[in-house]
Amino acid sequence: MDNSLLSLLIWLPIFAGIFVIFIGNERANTARWISVATSILVFIISLSLYTEFDSNTHLMQFEEKTSWISQFNIYYHLGVDGISMPLIILTTFSTILVIIAGWEVIQTRPAHYMAAFLIMEGLIIGVFSSLDAILFYAFWEASLIPMLLIIGVWGGDNRVYAAIKFFLYTFLGSVFMLVSLIYMYNKGGSFSILAMHDLSLTATEQAWIFWAFFMAFAVKVPMFPVHTWLPDAHVQAPTGGSVILAAIMLKMGGYGFFRFSLPITPDASYEFSEVVIILSLIAIVYIGFVALVQRDMKKLIAYSSISHMGFVTLGVFALFLAYKPGAAEAALLGLEGAMVQMISHGFISAAMFLVVGVLYDRLHSREISTYGGVINSMPKFTGFAVLFAMANAGLPGTSGFVGEFMVILGAVQANIWYGVLAGSTLIVGAAYTLWMVKRVFWGAITNPDVETLSDINAREFSILAVLAIAVLAMGLYPQPVIDVMHVTIEHLLNQALTSKL
């Protein structure tokens, strides 16, 4: 092992988290400082993934491989490519934000709260960097446990229901994936994900495996009609939990499509691509309208998340129809758009949930009707909130525009109507977001409590400022991110278009 960067990224936060548990809630300040220091350290280390990354190859980099369970030929095998590397940095970035965001707000068991997020950070990095299916599955399931506790312990009034629903939904989805992974192991003799990419499978096998994967990933994304756990989980989760859930955990589903579904079952993905596209379009259009009628801000953002994640699955599966021999650009555009959308959604949804969190901490209400005229008492905060709302609506110049535009371009090549339907989000999305902005931030103050609101403090300001920079940077100059993933995505496109039959 000449390079143990990824192991460090996984285990440093996990062990720091365990350490923080032992520090205990009595010494909360020590726990907070250690947590924030760890998360910043992990973020800095993860940046070296970017700086030392070679974007001219699709091969796995920073690889580590040690025998783990030799009985099943299972390896502790880590590595990243252009798809997983940006997601890891997104993870380390978001974790800093949630730990700082929970600084004063979390007064019950603060040390355990911080520890849960640190441990979850390590586990999610594990998900994105595992190259062995069982290792992947272990991280994938294990990451449910801290989230279950975060929702259940620090959540709202109906937290028990939301926490258990979240756990059972995602658990049920992923056991089918486990069965198909074992099936492929029995066939190919290896749990290596890369070996599974090359495993030849018949059409029937691919169809079954595709749907098994689909159950696991669609629940996580979440896609219509298995999205119902998400609004519950988001509404009940504490702000930090919502941020990680939206910014990272949903991406695990999208990542699954990139890493498993397309390369392992290319023919089945092609065969069923229209089903997935239609489900994605339903998510984009129908869920957009559902978001329009929400009275609860968090629920509104949760539904808007589902709608935006629809672009990810649309971009991924539109490639089969968008691809014309000799002209791969459209298909490539859709795939890259899906990746950009995942990262951009990570920033925007995190920002939106933090914005709601700021309001909730002050008035303890998520109802839109509680507010009105917030701009009068919180001008600085409103500036940020409107920026993020614009990004959520897909305003050019913000990150929200780039991914959606790329996906729509790809979708138009596939079928003009897909493009039209997907494009309707620019109207619906703007409608629900801006209407919420109007009702919450603008107008006259109707609730006397709003008058007494104090504007954001330095801590909140810095979190939102960092996110604002990220949103704008991605919107104005997304090229560095696209460069990093370009070769990997091209390779993935090849894999997806090469029949295994």
Partner 1 sequence: MNNMYTFDTSTLWAALPEIFLLSAIVVVLLLDLFLTKPFKQVTYYLTQLSLLITAILAFNLIGEPKTIIFSGSFVLDNMASIFKVFMAGSTMVALVYTRHYLTEHKLFRGEYFVLVLLSMLGMMVMVSGYSLLTLYLGLEILSLSLYTLIAIARERAGAIEAALKYFVLGAIASGLLLYGMSMIYGISGSINITDIATFADNSTLASREMLILNFGLVFLVIGIAFKLGAVPFHMWVPDVYQGAPTSVTMFLSTVPKIAAVAMLVRILVDGMGAMHDYWSDLFMVMALLSIALGSVVALMQTNIKRMLAYSTISHIGFILLGFVTGVVEGYGAAVFYVLVYILMSMAAFGMIILLNKQGFEADKISDFKGLSKHSPWFALMMLAIMLSMAGVPPFIGFYAKLFILQQVISAGFITIAVIAVVFAVISSYYYLQVVKSMYFEDSDNEITITAPMDMKLILSINAVLILVVGLFPDFWMKLSISIF
Phi, psi of 52 (to 5 degrees): -95, 10
Work out whether 175 is an interface residue with partner 1 (CB under 8 A).
yes
**According to CB under 8 A, which one of 1, 69, 203, 293 is a site residue for partner 1?**
69
Work out whether 72 is an interface residue with partner 1 (CB under 8 A).
yes
Of the ranges 62-70, 354-362, 393-401, 479-487, which one interacts with partner 1 (CB under 8 A)? Answer: 62-70
Least distance in Å: CB of 354 to partner 1?
Answer: 25
Work out whether 160 is an interface residue with partner 1 (CB under 8 A).
yes
**According to CB under 8 A, which one of 36, 178, 430, 434 is a site residue for partner 1?**
178
DSSP string, 343-356: HHHHHHHHHHHHHH
Work out whether 199 is an interface residue with partner 1 (CB under 8 A).
no
Residues 5-34 within binding reach of partner 1 (CB under 8 A): 21, 24
d(CA 429, CA 96): 28
Scored b (16 or more CB within 10 A) or e, 145-172 reads ebbbbbbbbbbeeebeebbebbbebbee
Helix %, strand %, coil % of the chain (to 5): 75, 5, 20
Work out whether 145 is an interface residue with partner 1 (CB under 8 A).
yes
SS3 of 27, please? Answer: helix
Work out whether 133 is an interface residue with partner 1 (CB under 8 A).
no
How far is residue 397 CA from its own chain's centroid? Answer: 21
Phi, psi of 190 (to 5 degrees): -150, 145
Residue written as tokens 């009609």?
225
**According to CB under 8 A, which one of 11, 50, 103, 183 is a site residue for partner 1?**
183
Distances (CA, A) of 488 to 24, 125, 478: 44, 19, 17
**According to CB under 8 A, which one of 32, 58, 159, 234 is a site residue for partner 1?**
159
Of the ranges 70-78, 353-361, 416-424, 493-501, which one interacts with partner 1 (CB under 8 A)? Answer: 70-78
Work out whether 193 is an interface residue with partner 1 (CB under 8 A).
no
Say how many residues make up the chain. Answer: 501
Work out whether 68 is an interface residue with partner 1 (CB under 8 A).
yes
Of the ranges 170-178, 268-276, 361-369, 459-467, which one interacts with partner 1 (CB under 8 A)? Answer: 170-178
d(CA 305, CA 284): 10
Work out whether 171 is an interface residue with partner 1 (CB under 8 A).
yes
Work out whether 148 is an interface residue with partner 1 (CB under 8 A).
yes
Q: For residues 240 and 117, is the Cβ–Cβ distance under 8 A?
A: yes
Work out whether 426 is an interface residue with partner 1 (CB under 8 A).
no
d(CA 470, CA 53): 20
Work out whether 144 is an interface residue with partner 1 (CB under 8 A).
yes
State both tokens at 291.
Answer: 């978001």
Of the ranges 144-152, 301-309, 343-351, 424-432, which one interacts with partner 1 (CB under 8 A)? Answer: 144-152
Work out whether 164 is an interface residue with partner 1 (CB under 8 A).
yes
Least distance in Å: CB of 71 to partner 1?
Answer: 4
Work out whether 185 is an interface residue with partner 1 (CB under 8 A).
yes
Q: For residues 135 and 76, is the Cβ–Cβ distance under 8 A?
A: yes
Per DSSP, helices labelled H in 102-158 are 110-129, 133-142, 144-154
**According to CB under 8 A, which one of 41, 142, 386, 497 is a site residue for partner 1?**
142
**According to CB under 8 A, which one of 172, 327, 416, 420 is a site residue for partner 1?**
172
Least distance in Å: CB of 483 to partner 1?
Answer: 36
DSSP string, 30-73: HHHHHHHHHHHHHHHHHHHHHHT--TT--S-EEEEEEEEEGGGT
Residue 216 vs 331, nearer CB to partner 1: 216
**According to CB under 8 A, which one of 112, 251, 366, 439 is a site residue for partner 1?**
112
Distances (CA, A) of 165 to 160, 171, 219, 229: 8, 10, 12, 6
Residue 167 vs 388, nearer CB to partner 1: 167
Task: Report the interface residues with partner 1, using CB under 8 A.
Answer: 21, 24, 68-72, 112, 134, 137-138, 141-142, 144-145, 148-149, 152-153, 159-160, 163-164, 167-168, 171-172, 175-176, 178-179, 182-183, 185-186
